[in-house]
Amino acid sequence: MFHKNRIISLLLVLLVSVAMLLPTAVTPAAAGIAPGANAIDAVTVTDAACTGTGTIHVEGHTDGLLQNYVTAQATGAVETRVDVPTGDWSIDISYTAPAVPGTSFDVVVALWWEDPLLGSGDMQVDSRVIPIECEIGPVATDDSATTSHLTPVVIDVVANDTDENDDLDPISVTVTVPPASGTAVSNGDGTITYTPASGATGSFTFTYQVCDLTDLCDTADVTVEVTNQAPVANEDAASTPINTPVVIDVAANDTDPDGDLVVSSVSVTVAPTSGIAVSNGDGTITYTPNSGFQGTDTFTYQICDSGGLCDTAIVTVTVAAGGGNGGGNGGGNGGGGDGVVPDNPAQAGEHANPAACEENPGAANEHRPDNVPPCR
């Protein structure tokens, strides 16, 4: 029994001794963290970055039983941490700038003591609020322009851009995202020249960047509407003697608002009924009347521009009897008259056109058909 009681007594002594060695819940003062014993002495901003990562130099001293560390956290950004030793120390700690660039913000630098065992929570013993002043960068505003296809357009993209510090740099303008069609080239003066691709029409967009003199930048989109106006085909008329082909320059009186008429595009879309019409590939059409045909014939042609827009017009051809220069349209020398042969051309031995005989009997006789008597 004696041995049993002695063993129990020894165990109690051992437990008391162990309990005395275990840490107890402490306050900062009990841990040796007296006022002024743990503090930040100096803070210097070594890299005041407004985007990305900046750096702050911190000096201080600690005097305590527990681990100390320094944190730095910008407004709305993640926190960084650096452990510091007991005594005097000097560290560099980085901070992450907020996600929104170009705005001023604060960085809180704090000194903490750590309670890793008892879970009573870490305690902040000193802190500093460091303002980071950021220049507000330029504001690029979207632009738009309109041009005809194949016609370059110069766009003053910086005309509506602003900068709070009035140090916008037009020379800095660059194209960052090119258009899907055509080309966009910075001219080095705040303008960009957009050139449409051949035959392309519609809406095309590219992105540019403009910076200020402190290299803060912004981007904006430019939308260019490339239009194409259709050509205008005008009706034509021609005359030719019987059994005689005639070449008609149908494109000569056609127009296009964009100036890109393609004369080689001329084609016959509706054929004549009393002859043949063939495009010559140069804006002209050759009409050949059927053998022996006299009268009026028509056909339709089409002409297009380089953008693929087209128009049509009708060509009227008069095929007259006889071989005079006037065909059937009363040529400049009066030959052929109105091209109509009287039912009885030899009637009373008179010429078919007495007025022509009175005005110029020589010319009237020279160009009269064989079955028409001469002037008397």
**pLDDT tens per residue across span 242-263:** 999 999 999 999 999 888 899 9
Strands 39-47 and 53-62: antiparallel
Domain 143-227: give its CATH architecture: Sandwich (2.60)
CB 122 within 8 A of CB 196: no
**Residue showing tokens 């009347």:** 289
For the ranges 205-209, 213-217, 344-348, the maximum mean pLDDT occurs at 205-209
Q: Give the fold, CATH level 3, of 236-320.
A: Immunoglobulin-like (2.60.40)
Name the band, by pLDDT with cuts 50, 70 and 90, for residue 193.
very high
25-132 shares its CATH topology with 143-227: yes
Residue 60: helix, strand or coil by DSSP? strand
pLDDT at 200: 87
Domain map (residue ranges) of the chain:
25-132, 143-227, 236-320
What pLDDT shows up at residue 345? 40
The predicted structure's pLDDT at residue 17 = 40
| Structure token pair of residue 109 | 């630098």
Percentage above 70 pLDDT, the chain: 73
**Phi, psi (5° rounding) for residue 12?**
-65, -40
pLDDT of residue 214: 82
- Is there a contact between 286 and 278 (Cβ–Cβ < 8 Å)? yes
CA dihedral over 240, 242, 247, 250, signed as positive or negative: positive
Q: What is the pLDDT of residue 133?
A: 86
Average pLDDT, the chain: 81
Long-range contacts of 249-252 (CB under 8 A, 24+ apart): 249/283, 249/284, 250/283, 250/284, 250/285, 250/301, 250/303, 250/313, 250/315, 251/283, 251/284, 251/303, 252/283
With cut-offs at 50, 70 and 90, classify the pLDDT of residue 346: very low
Residue 30's pLDDT is: 34
> Among 30-44, 154-168, 256-270, where is mean pLDDT lowest?
30-44
Looking at domain 25-132, what is its CATH homologous superfamily?
Answer: Immunoglobulins (2.60.40.10)
Q: How many CA atoms lie within 13 A of 58 on its CB side?
A: 30
State the alpha helices, DSSP H only, in the chain: 2-21, 354-359, 361-366
Give the mean model confidence (pLDDT) for residues 81-90: 93
Residue 300 · residue 288 · CB < 8 Å: no
Q: Which residues pair with 70 in a beta bridge?
A: 82, 111
